[in-house]
Structure 1
Amino acid sequence: MLGILVANLPGFALPGAAYFSPAAWGGTSRADIAAWALTFVLVEGKMRGLFAMLFGASMLLVIQRADARGENGAALHLRRMGTLFAIGCAHAYGVWSGDILSLYAMVGCVALIFTGAGTRLLLFAATAAFVLTLLNGVALLGLGDVLERVFGRSTPAALAREIAALRGPWRANVAWRWHEEAGPLTAFLANGPETLGYMLLGMAGLRTGFLTGTWPRRRYGAIAAVALGLTLPIDGVLAWRTNAHQFDAHAVVLASFVLTPPLRPLTVIGYAALLLCVAREGRVADAGRVALSNYLLCSIAATALFYGWGAGQFARWDRATLYVLLPPAWFAMLTWSRWWRARFTHGPAEWAWRCATQRRWIALRRKRCERDAI
């Protein structure tokens, strides 16, 4: 979640075309280009992949535990995904168009097919999903004018319409998202294969013990060093090349959708190994246990700052300045997560999701003995 916020900041504060291209909006000073490059190399696609990987592992855990209790784990999972889809659609249209929850819900239904698969089949299916992702990226290169409009500099008229809508009242924000932004089905077709691949990696990671922290720390450290040492320098070269081509739409798509997707799974595994090596417990773990609440709270807080129903700062900040928000946002996320986890069994959004899925009221406040143990 800490890394996802880094990736999402330009999406909250700047026109959509600026997410991939500083040339579209947000400034092209050295600081702005450096901010984009660091995000591209260290964060873009990687944090989302890590989130999906952990989602796949947790999905398998929920199904296994339900089956062990004598319940129908598959039915429970489908109810969870249906509820998550509703939450995601409310988030996408009511708060922010960059929602990933509805995508995870739809892909999670597909991933149910693989819950009984062995590790080898999971890895084979994940590889096939990543190959399909690469083919989707190659297909993007043939979109012509659409390529420039979506991944290039857009047009002054289109930028002006988006800025006016998102600086406007909440109803104008919703109307813009409803009419102009891609819906859940489009997101599923575009990003579903890659998301499925990471979920399957997460299932495999759970089955092998990689994600449970049972491997020796030295092994996690070696995996992180090799995976990140191989992939991040290549991403650095691609960032340099994209900037050298002045963020031409073809160069942007080639870097973000064709050349980096084959590297990302290894990078994501490297990040997972690094986290398991250095941050198994403490505030980071607490923040992870209320990840859904943190995700939604970040969207609400950011849109309150940038959209017209709040402070109306949309498209008024340059890219580099956005990142001054990270330290206070991270501090708030880590602090409230620790405070909440000491008093309650679930995050507020996690609790509502669980109650809706299980169709019953679930106790939220911890008992005194549980608080003392924490």
Structure 2
Amino acid sequence: MGDDGRTENARLVTLDALRGFAVMGILAMNIVAFAMPEMAYVSPRAYGGDSAADVAAWALSFLLVDGKMRGLFSILFGASLLLIVDRAEKSGQNPASVHYRRMAWLAIFGLCHFFFLWWGDILFLYAAVGCIAFLFRGWEARRLIRWAAGLFTLGVLLMTLLFGGQLFLASSAGDPGAAPSRVTAGEAIRDEYAKIDTEVRDELALYRGGYLPILDHRLDDAAAPFAMVLVNLLETLPLMMIGMALFRNGFLTGAWEPRAYRRTAWRWLPPGLLLTLFLCWLMGNAGFDYLLSLTVFLAWAQPGRLMMTIGYAALLVLLIQRHAAAPWVGRVAAAGRAAFSNYLGTSVVMTTIFYGYGLGQFGAIGRAPLYLFVVGAWALMLLWSKPWLDRFRYGPFEWLWRSLARGAMQPMRKDEAG
């Protein structure tokens, strides 16, 4: 029993540390979206591309971070879904009731996060997709991976048809002999994307202002969280299914041999990196054209992101296992156990720094120096999470979520009876 306890603890530490790396990495991905207009994340031409250092910062983010940390977080969400379902079954609870109560409250948190704090919320997306992912909880790992690959491929193809079709029309509208209908459609698409520069200026004015105009803008855009679910469903659901499979087969809990993790990293990371590097060159060579950049981000970059996400996961498991006894791994794992609090806390801190109702630094800091804020936030996550969890059972928002989902105040302090 003691050995089983140690094995279970090692499994949970591996998952928690992976989640800690993911929530820290998500900030490295989101920092530009906190500090600059939305389109600046996709293209340095829109904003924050005035210097070679800024363009290099964009390229490094696109190559190494964009989508990979969110992908890892989505995979871990799928793994956590199964972990909670398994625990509910073992304790005699109704797994569906436990899961859907959690997702309902997560959706509410997500909507509050979107409307009252930051437009980049992913919690509502996870809650909505998590309701669907639950339906596959009984599938075995190979079946989950096969279906996830199929759904993911379908999503890439649909996005390619949508944005690639626009790109073709816009690019070929000026061809000699082009049909009038094609010319008209292509010019309309070009005109639509030409509005982005005006939208960037409007966004700068909005987020440099007070809180109420920002809130009013979000309320006017009330359909955005639901649209995000539709746009991201065929990326997020497959990732959650992969997470469920990798939890079932022991990959995410460190049950594989080290050489298997190394083999997985070598199989997926180099080709994913090369594909992403090519797309980075393609966008740069086109002067970071808005339509091409969006096509890359929403369609063509997805396969490379998935490959790199799997490669990163393998390397991180190896790193965690190799340094399992190191104090820093314990701190990363604590940040992962409090990932919900760290994710929401990051939004509070960053919007306060950058928005006009806080310190008013929106659009005022270069792209490259923004990563100093990332390092500072990482330090805060690592400093507060472990001391807090040494004393309390859960992070603050984890406790609130758990209490709401269970319909009763949960014990918070470790010396309270559970």
| TM-score (norm. length: structure 1) | 0.93
1:147 and 1:209 mapped to 2: Cα distance?
47
State the alpha-carbon separation in 1 of the partners of residues 285 and 194 from structure 2. Answer: 16
Q: Which residue number corresponds to residue 239 of structure 1?
A: 280
Looking at structure 1, the residues matched to 251 and 189 of structure 2 have their Cα atoms a distance apart, in angstroms, of: 39
Deviation of 1:255 after TM superposition, in Å, equals: 2.4
- 2:254 equivalent among 209, 213, 222: 213
Equivalences for residues 112-261 of structure 1 within 5 A: 112-138=134-160, 139-143=162-166, 154-180=195-221, 183-261=224-302
Q: Secondary structure at the match of 2:252?
A: helix
2:38 to 16, 19, 32: 16
The Cα shift of 1:358 comes to 0.5
Q: Distance in 1 between matches of 2:298 and 2:190?
A: 14
Task: State the Cα distance separating 1:100 from its structure 2 match.
Answer: 0.2
- How far apart are residue 315 of structure 1 and its match? 1.3
What are the residue-to-residue correspondences of 1:337-348 with 2, within 5 Å? 337-348=385-396
Question: Does 2:331 correspond to 1:283?
Answer: yes
Matched-pair contact (CA < 8 Å) for 1:17–1:153: no
In structure 2, runs of 5+ residues without a counterpart are 1-22, 171-186, 322-328
CA distance in structure 1 between the aligned counterparts of 2:86 and 2:336, rounded to whole angstroms: 21
Distance 1:6 1:149 in 2: 33
Change (3 A) 1:148 1:346: farther
Cα deviation for residue 113 of structure 1 reads 0.9
Counterpart CA distance in 1 for 2:361 and 2:222 is 20
What SS does structure 1 have at the residue aligned with 2:361? Answer: coil
* Alignment-derived partner of residue 30 in structure 1: 52
Query: Structure 1's 235 and 276: CA in aligned 2 closer, same or farther, altered over 3 A?
Result: same
Aligned with 1:50 (options 72, 76, 92): 72
Matches within 5 A, 1:279-358: 279-280=320-321, 281-358=329-406
Structure 1 contact 21–153 (Cα < 8 Å) conserved? no
| Amino acid paired to 1:293 | S
1:227 to partner: Cα distance: 1.8
Q: Contact conserved, 1:141 with 1:253, CA < 8 A, in 2?
A: no
Give the C-alpha shift of residue 301 in structure 1: 0.4
Deviates most, 3-12 or 216-225? 216-225
Give the direction of change, closer, same or farther, for the CA distance of 1:295–1:154 in structure 2 (3 Å limit). Answer: farther
Which residue identity is paired with 2:140?
Answer: G
Residue 342 of structure 1 deviates from its aligned partner by 1.2
SS of match in other structure, 2:302: coil
Q: Distance in 1 between matches of 2:301 and 2:204?
A: 30
Q: Is the 8 A contact 2:272 2:303 kept in 1?
A: no
Tell me how far apart the structure 1 counterparts of residues 353 and 282 of structure 2 sit (CA, whole Å).
Answer: 34
| Maintained 8 Å contact 1:304/1:311 | yes
Mark the runs of 5 or more structure 1 residues left unpaired by the alignment: 369-374
For residue 319 of structure 1, give the secondary structure of its aligned residue in structure 2. coil
Partner Cα separation in structure 2 for residue 226 and residue 365 of structure 1? 45
